[in-house]
Amino acid sequence: MSNKIRTGFAAGYNLYATIRQPTTGYIWNTSSQAFEACAAASITDYDIALTDSGMGYYLGDFPSAIANDTYDIQVYERVGAAPSTDDVPFGGPTSYTWNGSSLTAAPSPGSPGTALTCKDMIDEIQLRIGRPDADTHGNEIVDMTWCTRVLNEAQRVIVQTVPGLSCLHFSNRSTFDTTGTYQYTITDLTYGDSTTDRGVCRVTDVWYLDGNQSRQLTFKPRDEFDSEHPDPTHSSESFGRPSQWTMRNNTTIDTWPYCSSGYWDKDMRFDGDFYPKEFTTDVTGASDISMSDEGLILYGVWKAWQVIASGNPALAGEVRSAKRAWSNPDPRAGEDVGWLEKFGRRHEIMIGWDSNLYG
């Protein structure tokens, strides 16, 4: 069907598209008019030419012989005279539903309100790399155990990269007081509040609580803190209410000055965020990170292609494409940033709305 595939890019490039079945990973062969396992030797039979109709608006024909269903369309830049394994894919594939006359964008996994279980995400990763039956083969690397580990890795990367996620915020004010101490163990922050069974990712604020005498402590880098207060409990120090804090090797939080007895038995409050609960091999849980399913899947697809492509240069393009779909902080002309950058920007906007920064 004419001009059913449409995409925008800088004008004057040689672009083409490929069509895959997401359930099998098979690719459409324009010569045999059938889906088949992708083979480098047949790469010149997979391309559907895209023509620049003006100002970078590219059009291509969707094969009328393809049955109604959902398919992944991937756009490439042709770098030589004919399609090759060196051609550069733009971002990840986009899913479309074909009804025999038109293409419509298909809902993506991880859309708001449709949180996927770990098993759902593993199935999707294996489908996107063309290994839907990976767990039935005893020699497959990208099996359920491997995918579970990679999904946990992805969760940690997201939290470390995008600070202050509201779904992972904690404010621990019931565990600690000021009596006879200036040092607090970070692992203890995982007890008594919503951080139970979670590891602390970062501490952002420390407060001394005493009614209208409460104060937020000022953070000091550790070297500066140690230089100014080499022996904080020594009698020559001026004891009083805490006013400064530092973090020591992600192990303890030290405060200064040491509390004089008149300020004992007051609460300390620690604000920050924690790591999401890890997936386990029972694979029935969903992620604690809101609206992260697609990102977790994209990370898994990238890591899977890295493993599969090891020692196989012909698959280097798949690795590059998957990496850019997950994270592409410095996109080239015509490219977009990756999922991770979009997720971070959306989070910043949400913070702005929560803080009424936009009026």
In whole angstroms, give the CA distance from residue 19 to residue 69: 12
| pLDDT score at 358 | 37
- 158: closest CA among 321, 323, 281, 327? 327
Per-residue pLDDT of the chain (359 residues; tens, 9 = 90+): 788 898 877 778 889 999 998 878 899 999 999 999 988 899 999 999 999 888 778 899 999 999 988 898 988 888 889 999 888 777 667 788 888 888 877 654 444 445 788 988 998 898 888 877 666 655 568 888 999 999 999 999 999 998 878 778 777 766 677 888 888 888 777 544 444 556 788 888 899 988 888 999 999 999 999 999 888 888 777 788 899 999 988 788 999 888 888 888 888 888 888 888 889 876 778 888 888 999 999 999 999 999 988 878 888 888 999 999 999 999 988 888 999 999 888 877 654 444 333 33
Q: What residue segments make up the domains of the chain, in order of their start?
A: 5-105, 118-163+289-354, 168-274
Q: Indicate the helix (H) or strand (E) that contains 73.
A: strand 69-77
| pLDDT score at 340 | 94
| pLDDT score at 12 | 83
pLDDT digits (tens, 9 = 90+) for 89-147: 776 677 888 888 888 776 544 444 457 889 889 988 988 888 776 666 555 688 889 99
Residues 6+ apart with CB under 8 A from 332: none
Task: State pTM to two decimals.
Answer: 0.60
Distance set, CA 281 to CA 143, 148, 151, 194, 299 (Å): 11, 7, 11, 24, 18
| pLDDT score at 295 | 94
| pLDDT score at 210 | 86
How does 190-213 read in b/e, with b if 16+ C-beta sit within 10 Å? beebebeebbbbbbeebbbeeeee
